């Protein structure tokens, strides 16, 4: 537990307070109601300001943890028979700027993402500001029937990203939000664009892994087949074991593989 706390790291309160005051100055806010979100804080300290702005504070410790996670993911990709395609960041501001850029690119191609505002440095941390989505729920907070109604759209949005040489790279249930009846995508990570085909298969495997505990392997694969052909799902199948060992995923890999193989036969 001590090691986990070390990895998470903490931001000194004066730094957090100063960063929020800087946001207030930049957005002409006379007062601010700040709510810090209940999160693991592996890669940032997130908070909401006045139910309008979503703010992440990123430290050097966060960028170190991201580098360690990236190395592990690349080893996992290698174990799946491909070269690693995840890329690291050299500084907190790079992490913040990448998330803004990823959100902007998704919005440009018609994929919903919170509106990016800005990223800036304050003392030794990076501060990222996004639109705050009202009344959102993460995918795993929805009842099964509602998840089923969004499942095909999940794969269609990923396909649109991939067709535009963009991959999410960290798709999980918590990174797919529903607001106003529509899907929104957050927390895309950095992926080598020259390895888009492998990243595409990995994203699809992550989507299957995210959906299986919520709606079952048969319905998850059936939704994927509305967008992908069986050959594409066989490519995703190669990443399922790697995806399943990640702590944010826990699904019946054998059931998903069996459904894929049934349709590929």
Q: Three-class SS string for the chain?
A: CHHHHHHHCCCCHHHHHHHHHHHHHHCCCCCCCEEECCCCCCCCEEEEECCCEEEEEECHHHHHHHHHHHHHHHHHHHHCCCCCCECCCCCHHHHHHHHHHHHHHHHHCCCCCCCEEEEEEECCEEEEEEECCCCCEEHHHCCHHHHHHHHHHHHHHHHHHHHCCCCCCCCCHHHEEEECCEEEECCCCCECHHHHHHHHHHHHHHHHHHHHHHHCHHHHHHHHHCCCCHHHHHHHHCCHHHHHCCCCCCCCHHHHHHHHHHHHC
Q: Over range 150-176, report the average pLDDT.
A: 95
Bridge partners of 178? Answer: 137, 183
Domain residue limits, the chain: 3-131, 137-262
What percent of the chain is modeled with pLDDT above 90?
71
Burial 45-56 (b: 16+ CB within 10 A, else e): bbbebeeebbbb
127-149 tens-digit pLDDT: 999 999 988 999 999 999 999 99
**Which of the four pLDDT bands, split at 50, 70 and 90, describes residue 1?**
very low
CATH class entry, domain 137-262: mainly alpha
45-80 tens-digit pLDDT: 999 999 999 999 999 988 888 788 878 777 777 777
10-39 tens-digit pLDDT: 788 999 999 999 999 999 999 999 999 876
pLDDT of 93 > 70? The answer is yes
Report the range of poorest mean pLDDT among 6-20, 96-110, 155-169, 217-231: 6-20
**Which of the four pLDDT bands, split at 50, 70 and 90, describes residue 103?**
very high
**Which of the four pLDDT bands, split at 50, 70 and 90, describes residue 2?**
very low
**pLDDT value at residue 7:** 46
pLDDT of 4 > 50? The answer is no
Q: How far apart are CA 7 and CA 66, in angstroms?
A: 10
pLDDT of 238 > 80? The answer is yes
The domain made up of 3-131 is a member of CATH 3.30.200.20: yes
């Amino acid at each position: 537990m001590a090691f986990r706390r070390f990895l998470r790291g903490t931001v000194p309160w004066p730094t957090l307070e100063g960063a929020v005051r800087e946001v207030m100055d930049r957005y002409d806010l006379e007062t601010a109601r700040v709510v810090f979100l209940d999160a693991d804080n592996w890669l940032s300290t997130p908070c909401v300001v006045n139910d309008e702005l979503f703010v992440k504070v990123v430290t050097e410790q966060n960028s170190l943890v991201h580098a360690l996670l990236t190395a592990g993911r690349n080893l996992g990709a290698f174990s799946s028979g491909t070269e690693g395609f995840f890329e690291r960041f050299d500084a907190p501001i790079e992490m913040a700027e990448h998330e803004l850029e990823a959100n902007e690119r998704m919005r440009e191609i018609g994929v919903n993402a919170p509106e990016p505002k800005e990223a800036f440095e304050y003392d030794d941390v990076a501060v990222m500001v996004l639109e705050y989505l009202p009344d959102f729920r993460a995918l795993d907070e929805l009842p099964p029937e509602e998840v089923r109604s969004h499942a095909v759209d999940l794969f269609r949005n990923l396909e649109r990203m991939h067709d535009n040489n963009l991959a999410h790279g960290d798709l999980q249930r918590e990174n797919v939000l529903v607001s106003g009846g529509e899907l929104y995508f957050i927390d895309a990570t950095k992926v080598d664009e020259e390895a888009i085909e492998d990243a595409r298969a990995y994203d699809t495997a992550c989507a299957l892994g995210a959906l299986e505990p919520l709606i079952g392997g048969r319905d998850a694969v059936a939704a994927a087949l509305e967008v992908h052909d069986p050959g594409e799902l066989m490519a995703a199948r190669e990443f399922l074991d790697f995806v399943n060992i990640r702590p944010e995923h826990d699904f019946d890999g054998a059931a998903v593989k069996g459904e894929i193989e049934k349709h590929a036969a």
